[in-house]
Structure 1
Amino acid sequence: MSFLWVVRPGLVHDSEWLEALPSGYAEKIGNRGCIIKWAPQQEVLAHFAVGGFWTHNGWNSTLESICEGVPMICSPCFEDQLVNAKYVSDVWEIGLRFKKEVERGEIERGIKRVMVEREGEEMRERILCLKEKVDVCLKEGGSSYQHLEDLISYILSF
């Protein structure tokens, strides 16, 4: 199982980029993963090989994952992320949520749950149904499309 890990420079306090990782970590993962500074998130999520998305559950990330039909592993940090993660895991059941502090074994179990177990297949089925609903709403004549048209008309009426 390969992974792509985007680590934004300066995100970890007192660290430029990867200094907080254990010594030799990048070499140890070898070809099993790729750590980069930035990626076009929605394009990555749209790729057929993506089986899951470990996210902080900001609203944009959550919507992009739903729009691309990718189940989530949720690690919210604060504010709206906590509510978004609760909806993803407990209401829509299209992902699972980690507690604030998470151990290595729990990470491994969570990834397996989403990627290879029946629970992950069920998440994928539910998120694909949700994706289809989103697609209908965004098409011409769909509710989101129409509400945006109405807003634009309202603004232009002044």
Structure 2
Amino acid sequence: MMFGSSQPVKAKATTVINKPINEVFRFVGDEFFVNYPKWSPEVVELKPLSDGPVRLGTLAHQVRVDHGHRTESTFRVTDYQPNKRLGFSGVSSPYRCAFDFEQKSTPTPVTQLAFTFELFELELFMRPFEKLIRAAIQDGAERTVKNLKSLIEGES
């Protein structure tokens, strides 16, 4: 049984990637099933449950091992706006995350990428560790954008 935390556990991190917005969105959104395990090495299994390309309503199943703790979840693409936003919500777990893309004008095109993650409920036995969980989730958000920046800028 799940019990709601007083407030959602939320984290946000941003970075600027030295690539045009269409290349960043392609890597994160259109090639999600190939690239997600690269930027999030905690993902040990990822399986699309829907046919075709990533789009609104696409379902997937993942197995993650975070700090030795194995979790499985099914999630759905809840927001798919090319070069603007990609969002997911847990179907089997109470979470939501989103990637927001914004083109910035500089001498060369760069993309500001923001990643937000929200966990809506903590199981009762996890409540005493809420501060640690908040810190770990913020850490994970920052690692996500750092890994994405490194991978995308490293692409030829």
Alignment TM-score, normalising by the size of structure 1: 0.26
Larger radius of gyration: 1
Structure with the bigger percentage of strand: 2
TM-score normalised according to structure 2 size = 0.26
